[in-house]
């Protein structure tokens, strides 16, 4: 049987507790929405294979606990992520304010070539909105990130945001991918990718424009 994917990426969902990280993930992977998930303790992950430009990409999405004290644990996962969702809740000014702290953590612990995307979740709860869309866009621009307002509840912008980050990661690793493809037309292996990623850190870094 043919291998089910061509490449595997690790994405990470971070943000304050209760902004809806787990909901985003469930909506994306299972297309389900539960108004009440249990609070995530430590970390959790789900997988999904998507097709981007003809490449079967297996994405492993790590869901983290939002409580501050769990950051000591979740930080350990930053290092191995290729893409990071920074999630805030548009009905919570506080969670928006905390994005800066999360971003600085990412800078500190994540590898340099990591792709990031800003998500303002719970866009369906317009009546409770505390953070304007422009605020989000402004912040994203500040950090050089893409920005999506999403709603796991209404399935708004979910697929788009996830696909977008995958594409970004793919683009970031395009060079190694191409090289591998040419070399042996074989599928990427995570370990190889990681190794290559580390080697190619410098180049990737130079390529990316945001630092």
Only one residue has tokens 């985003």, namely: 24
**If phi over 0 gives left and psi between -120 and 50 gives alpha, with beta otherwise, what is residue 42?**
left
Sort strands 115-121 and 83-89 into parallel, antiparallel or unpaired: parallel
Select 93 or 167, whichever has its Cβ closest to another protein: 93
Stretch that binds another protein, among 62-70, 115-123, 129-137, 176-184 (CB under 8 A): 62-70
CA distance 146 to 98: 18
Find the binder of another protein among 53, 54, 69, 182 (CB under 8 A).
69
Q: Which is nearer to another protein, 31 or 154 (CB)?
A: 31
> In this structure, what token pair is assigned to residue 96?
């928006």
- Entry field: residues in the chain: 211
d(CA 196, CA 129): 43
47 binds another protein (CB under 8 A): no
Nearest to another protein of 125, 167 (CB atom): 125
Site for another protein in 3-32 (CB under 8 A): 17-18, 30, 32
CB of 72 to another protein, least distance (A): 5
Q: Is the alpha carbon torsion for 24, 39, 8, 178 positive or negative? A: positive
What's the min distance (Å) between Cβ of 129 and another protein? 18
* Interface positions with another protein (CB under 8 A): 17-18, 30, 32, 34, 36-41, 65-67, 69-70, 72-73
């Amino acid at each position: 049987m043919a291998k089910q994917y061509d490449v595997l990426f690790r994405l990470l969902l971070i943000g304050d507790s209760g902004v809806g990280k787990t909901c985003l993930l469930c909506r994306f992977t299972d297309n389900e929405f539960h108004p009440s998930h249990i609070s995530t303790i430590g970390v959790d992950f789900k997988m999904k294979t998507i097709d981007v430009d003809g490449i079967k990409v297996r994405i492993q999405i790590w869901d983290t606990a939002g409580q501050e004290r769990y950051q000591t644990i979740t930080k350990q996962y930053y290092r191995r992520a290729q893409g990071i969702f920074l999630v805030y809740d548009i009905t919570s000014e506080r969670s928006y304010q905390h994005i800066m702290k999360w971003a600085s953590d990412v800078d500190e612990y994540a590898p340099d070539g990591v792709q990031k995307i800003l998500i303002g979740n719970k866009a369906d709860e317009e009546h409770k909105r505390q953070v304007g869309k422009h605020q989000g866009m402004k912040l994203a621009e500040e950090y050089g990130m893409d920005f999506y307002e999403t709603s796991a509840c209404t399935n708004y912008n979910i697929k788009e945001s996830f696909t977008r980050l995958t594409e970004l990661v793919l683009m970031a690793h395009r060079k190694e991918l191409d090289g591998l493809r040419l070399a042996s037309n074989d599928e990427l292996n995570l370990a190889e990718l990681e190794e290559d990623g580390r080697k190619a850190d410098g180049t990737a870094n130079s390529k990316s424009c945001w630092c």
